[in-house]
Amino acid sequence: MPTFRTPWRGAAAAFALNGFLLGAWASRVPAVAERHGLSEAELGFMILLMGLGALVSFPLAGRLSDALGAVRLTRRMAPVYLLSLVLAGLAPSPLTLGAALVLFGAAHGAMDVAMNGWAAEVERQMGRSVMSSIHAMWSFGAGIGAASGLAAVGLGLSVGLHFALAALAIGAAMGPFLSVPWTSRIAPRRGRAPVFALPRGPLILVGLIALSSGFGEGAMVDWSAILLREGIGATEARAALGYTVYSASMVAMRLCADRLVVRLGPGPVARAGGLTAALGVALVTGPMSFPLALAGFALMGLGLAVLVPLAFSRAAADPEIPPGQAIASVATMGYGSVLMGPALIGLIAEATSLRLAFMLLGLGALLAATLAPVLGGKGTRPVAATP
């Protein structure tokens, strides 16, 4: 067995594939909107459909993850997610685009719950904090996916051809890592689970942190390029750089965040992240120039990078709720806001302006900074090596 196919790399590959597909989608949102003649409100509705698909998938994925195993579910959802991106690119009408985005959101959400469960198992086996470094691979994949959009625009590729080639490439690259041998040390659970997954007890506050972070991440995915085009008149190629810079800064922070968590604790790290993200929002929504906007996106990436990994790590360590259900409940608020928050941004932008709508992200970042101490609260299962 090749030594490069370790459990860490297997989970990281799932994150990289997941992020790549979302990054590729984000880079071509303006082109998709232009192709189908969508207004900001109509585009917001399309993104809302994607969010609804994810929300439906979260509780189902949580139950399946606990019953079948997180790794098995991750592997089954990956090809569905790849196919859904291709269908979104080839959709000939707004109606078929909406249907494809429902599937895209559902596949993204189900895979997200499952792969976070896999990452939590790897973290417990290794006996130290590695969740942020695994999430770094999601950000890395998202950045490469966004860069693929930049390259596709330069080459004059249609959205459909770009998405098909992107899915083929990332599937071939990550497939060998996704098949790494792994035996779960968490016994399957087949008890009753809530129809709609929402956190309870202390996890409510953890869910609010994930919600605040997810709102910012979702806005960056779907509106960063449009903000640069409308705010400073950037070309499509330059506008794609916004999300690329954001994702690159996320990768850099997540690669070193685990060491910061060990040294300082999750609460202080999360508080600093929320404040940094709020500063980035201030730069993006203030008097805008292209360099200042890119600096603001970079700060947002640095700040938001630590919040979701810490929230999922805390959820997986909850002493009362099975890992799959706990992750699904936090994901409902966190990634629900990733996929549904942008729809709210679109509605607010239609009524006021996109820049004003982006100011909500700063409030969310400040909320996360305020609630940060709950991530280091007592009563959680400590990360421990499995004998």
Read off the pLDDT band of 24 (50, 70, 90). Answer: very high
Average pLDDT over residues 304-328: 82
- The pair of structure tokens assigned to 132 is 């942020």
Q: Assess if residue 74 is contained within a domain.
A: yes
Q: How far apart are CA 54 and CA 271, in angstroms?
A: 28
Q: How far apart are CA 204 and CA 164, in angstroms?
A: 39
Q: Tell me the CB-side half-sphere exposure of residue 132, using CA atoms within 13 A.
A: 26
Q: What is the pTM of this model?
A: 0.76
Q: Assess if residue 135 is contained within a domain.
A: yes
Q: Tell me the CB-side half-sphere exposure of residue 41, using CA atoms within 13 A.
A: 5
In the three-class reduction of DSSP (H, G, I as helix; E, B as strand; rest coil), residue 149 is classed as helix
Supply the range of the domain harboring residue 330. Answer: 7-180+196-376
Who has greater pLDDT, 111 or 196? 111
All residues at 6 or more sequence positions from 7 whose CB lies less than 8 Å from its CB, including other chains: 122, 125, 180, 182
Cβ atoms within 10 A of the Cβ of 164, count? 18
Asked whether the beta carbons of 209 and 340 are under 8 A apart, the reply is no
Over residues 85-106, the pLDDT tens digits come to 999 999 999 999 999 999 999 9
Read off the pLDDT band of 81 (50, 70, 90). Answer: very high
The average confidence (pLDDT) of the chain is 83
Q: Assess if residue 385 is contained within a domain.
A: no
Q: Assess if residue 384 is contained within a domain.
A: no
Look-up of token digits 């990994």: 309
pLDDT of residue 339: 65
Over residues 288-301, the pLDDT tens digits come to 788 888 999 999 99
Q: Assess if residue 188 is contained within a domain.
A: no
Q: What is the CATH number of the domain that holds 19?
A: 1.20.1250.20
Over residues 131-163, the pLDDT tens digits come to 888 988 887 898 899 889 889 988 999 999 999
- The pair of structure tokens assigned to 145 is 């996916």
Total tally of structural domains belonging to the chain: 1
Q: Assess if residue 186 is contained within a domain.
A: no
Average pLDDT over residues 245-254: 87
Q: Assess if residue 233 is contained within a domain.
A: yes
Q: Is the pLDDT of residue 183 over 50?
A: yes
pLDDT of residue 3: 44
Read off the pLDDT band of 387 (50, 70, 90). Answer: very low
Torsion of CA 367, 371, 375, 378, to 10 degrees: -170
